[in-house]
Structure 1
Amino acid sequence: MLHNKNRFFTALMALGFTASLAAPASAAVVASIKPLGFIAAAIADGVTPVEVLLPDGASEHDYALRPSDVKRLQSADLVVWVGPEMEAFLTKSASGLPAKKNLELAALNGVKPLLIRGAEEDEHHEEGHADHDEEGHDHHHHGEYNMHLWLSPEIARQSAVAIHEKLLELMPQSKDKLDANLQNFEVSLAKSDQQIGSELAPVKGKGYFVFHDAYSYFEKHYGLSPLGHFTVNPEIQPGAQRLHQIRTQLVEQKAVCVFAEPQFRPAVIDAVARGTSVRKGTLDPLGMGISLTKDSYVKFLSQLSSQYVSCLKGA
C-alpha cells in the first residue's frame, strides 16, 4: 500500500514538473514605460500578458529599480524599452538579458533614421551652458537625440513590427493571432493618424510653450508650432534668463498657451503666465489613466491631440 502511495506522489510530482515546463507559453512582456506597454499590448492581445515597470505618476527621468522590478525583468520573456539614454535605470539590468529577450527600440535599424536631435542642439541656448552642466550625465538628455520615441506614430509602427517579430520567435504557435494583431494595429493607427491630423490642422500656426522637451516627434509629425520649452530636464528648474525670455514672448502675445504635465506642475509656469492672456493646459506624455488594451496606443495619441486642441483653440 505504501509503495503504491509513493508511486502516486512520484507521478503527481512528474505531472507538476511537466506543467512547470509548459508554463512559459503565457509568460509576460515587460515594458519600461506605459506608452511602450500600449504598443506591446496591441500586439500581444490574446497571446501573452503585458506589464509596465514604471508606476503611474513616476518619472522615467529619475526612477530607481526596486528588487521586485529586477525579478520581473529577469523572469520576463521580453523586455521592451527605448534605450540607455532614456531609461538609464534599466541599463544594468538590460545588459544582463539575452538578446532574444531584450528589445531596445532606439537601436532598431528602422528607427535610427527617424531620430530627431535633442534640444541641446537647438536654438534655445542663448543663456549659456550653466543649466546643462548641472544635469550630470545620468539623464537621457546627455545624448545626441531626443529619446521620447513613442510620441512618433511612425516609430510606434516600427516598434510594433519589432515586438511582433520577437513574440513570433518566442511563441511560433501563436503566429495567426500575432499576425492579425499587427495588421489590426497598423490599420487602426493609420485611421487614427488621419483623424488627429484633421483635428490638429486648425491650430497648426498657434504658438505655445511646453514644460519640457518631450514632444518633438508628435509636433513634427503633425506640423505644430512650438515656440520652445521651459527645461530640457524636468528635474532641473529653468534659469532666470530662460524664464525672462519666455515671459517676454508671452507678453508680446507670441504664444496662446503654456503646457504643464501631470507629474510636473511647476510654480514657474504660473509665475511666468501671470498677468498675460495666455492659457494654461496640461499634456500627458505617458498616458496616465489609460489602461492596457489593444486600443491603448491610439487612445493615447487621441488624448494628447485633444489636450493640444483644447488649450490652443480656447473656449
Structure 2
Amino acid sequence: MKRKKHLPKLALGLSIMLGMNGLAQADVVTSIKPLGFIAAAIADGVTPVTVVLPDGASEHDYALRPSDVRRIKNADLLVWVGPEMESFITRSASQLAANKNLELSALPVIQSHLVGEVEDDHDHSSSPTNTLQSVKSSDGEMSDSHSHRGTYNLHIWLSPEIALMSATAIHDRLVQSMPAQKTKLDSNLSKFKVSLKDADEHIRQQLNAVKDKRYYVFHDAYTYFEQHYGLSPLGYFTVNPEIQPGAQKLNEIRTQLTEHKAQCVFAEPQFRPAVIDAVSRGTKVQKGTLDPLGSNISLSQDSYVKFLSQLSSQYVSCLKPMN
C-alpha cells in the first residue's frame, strides 16, 4: 500500500522532468477535420491530434458541448481558421494564452493570400478570377453566425498553397513547445512538402481533362481549390448554407443549367438540400457530391493528401464526359 501512495508523486515528478527537457506532449486540438489532417502530418510520431467538429456536422452552425469546451481549455495548441469561419469556437479560443491559440487567418503570410468574397448575395453566377487577390485582415464586427458578406473566403484549407503555410505555422508552434522534438518535426514538415507537391501535380493532371466543364456547387466553399486548378464553375446556390436560395435565384440557376449546358450540380454530405433535386429535375445535368471536410477520412500523416485527392476524384466523377 505504501508503494501505491508514492506512485502519483512519482508520476508527477516524471511529468515535470519531461516538461523541463522539452519532451512533454503538446495536446493539439483543431477546430475542423481538414486542419486536423494538416496538423496530423506535422505531429506524426510526436503528439496526438484531435478535432472538435464531429463528422457529419457543419462548421457553419455547430454549438460546442461542455466536453468540447474542456478540451479546448486544456489544449496546448488550438488550431483554427478564425471567428468568421468557426464562430462556435471564438469564446473558448479567446481564453487561451496567445502561444496556445493559432488563428490561421490572422497570420500575415496567410492574410496576403485571402480571396475577397462577393458582397451581393444575388450575384452568384460569375466565375472566380484566376489570380489570388491580396487583402488585409478584416477588423469589422463579427456576427454570432458564420458570415461571408463583405469579408473574405475563409475556406483556406482548400488551398494547397495555404495548407503548406498552415503546416509551417503548426510546425513552428510545436517546435517552440517541444524543442527536443525539432528534428522529428522538421522531418515531418519536409515529408509533407514532398507529398503535397507530388499530389498537387497528379491532381492537376487529373483535373485538366475537366477544367472547362461548367457546374454549380451548393455553397461558396471551393474558390481556392477551383482557382488553384483552373476549374470553371458557373456559380453557387448560396453564400451561407444556413440560408436557402429564394425562388428567383433558383429560377436563374435553372436557366443557367440549360443555357450554359452545365455538366453537374454538386451537393455536400453536410447539406442535402432538396433545392438541388428541384432545380435539376427535368434537365440533363448530373448530380454529384463534394465533401469539403473529408468526413470519411481518418487522421494520419497522409490524410491531407488523401483529402485533396478525394475531392479531385469527386469533381472528375461528375464532370467527366457523358457517354
Say if 1:42 and 1:185, in contact at 8 Å, map to a contact too: yes
In 2, Cα distance between the equivalents of 1:191 and 1:253? 34
> Per-residue deviation at 1:142?
3.8
Alignment of 1:113-132 (within 5 A): 113-120=112-119, 124=123
Secondary structure of the structure 2 residue equivalent to 1:26: coil
2:233 partner SS: strand
C-alpha contact 1:231 1:238 (8 A) present in aligned 2: yes
In structure 2, C-alpha distance between the alignment counterparts of 1:303 and 1:143, rounded to whole Å: 31
Q: Which residue of 1 aligns with 2:189?
A: 182
Query: What is the match of residue 55 of structure 1?
Result: 54
How high is the TM-score relative to the length of structure 1? 0.91
Shift in Å, 1:21: 3.1
- Equivalent of residue 155 in structure 2, options 142, 148, 151: 148
The DSSP-based 3-state class of the residue aligned with 1:281 is strand
Structure 2's unaligned 5+ residue stretches are 126-142
1:247 matched to 2:242: no
Q: 1:19 aligned to 2:11?
A: no
Q: In the alignment, is the contact (CA less than 8 A) between 1:85 and 1:142 conserved in 2?
A: no
Instruction: State which drifts further: 149-158 or 104-113.
Output: 104-113
Give 1:64-79 correspondences, 5 Å limit: 64-79=63-78
Q: 1:138: Cα distance to partner?
A: 2.1
> What does residue 129 of structure 1 align with?
none
Question: Shift of the alpha carbon at 1:41?
Answer: 0.1
Task: Tell me what 1:218 maps to.
Answer: 225
1:164 corresponds to which letter in structure 2?
H
Counterpart residue type for residue 13 of structure 2: T
Q: How does 1:87-166 map to 2 (within 5 A)?
A: 87-120=86-119, 124=123, 138-166=145-173
| Structure 2 residue matching 1:229: 3-state secondary structure | strand
One-letter amino acid of the structure 1 residue matched with residue 75 of structure 2: A
CA distance in 2, matches of 1:125, 1:152: 21
| Letter aligned with residue 264 of structure 2 | C
Kindly, what percent of the aligned residue pairs are identical?
66
Q: Structure 1 residues 123, 225: closer, same or farther in 2, change over 3 A? A: farther
- Cα distance, 1:125 vs structure 2: 6.0
Label 1:121 to 1:233 Cα distance change in 2 as closer, same or farther (>3 A).
same
Give 1:265 deviation, angstroms. 1.0
Residues 119 and 146 in structure 1, CA contact (< 8 A), matched pair in contact too: no
Structure number having the greater helix percentage: 1
> Partner of 2:136 in structure 1?
none
> 1:17 deviation in Å?
2.2
Equivalence for 1:277: 284
Distance change >3 Å, CA 300–CA 85, structure 1 → 2 = same
Checking the alignment, whether the CA contact within 8 Å between 1:140 and 1:147 is kept in structure 2 is: no
- Give 3-state SS (helix, strand or coil) of 2:50's partner: strand
- Assess if the C-alpha contact under 8 Å between 1:168 and 1:174 holds in 2: yes
What is the root-mean-square deviation in Å for CA atoms of aligned residues?
1.9
For the residue of structure 1 that corresponds to 2:152, the secondary structure is: coil
Query: Structure 1, residues 253-308: CA drift from partner, whole Å, max 9, x if none?
Result: 43110000011111110110011110000000000110000000000000000000
For structure 1, which runs of at least 5 residues remain unmatched after alignment?
127-135
* Kept after mapping to 1: 8 A contact 2:26/2:178: no
Shift of 1:120: 2.5
Q: Secondary structure at the match of 1:140?
A: coil
- Alignment partners' CA distance in 1, 2:278 and 2:179: 56
Please give the secondary structure, in 2, of the residue aligned with 1:119. coil
Matched residue type, 1:303: Q
Counterpart residue number, 1:130 = none
Once the 2 structures are TM-superposed, how far is the Cα of residue 101 of structure 1 from its aligned partner?
A: 0.4
Tell me how many residue pairs correspond in the alignment. 301
* Normalised TM-score (structure 2): 0.89
**Greater Rg, structure 1 or structure 2?**
1
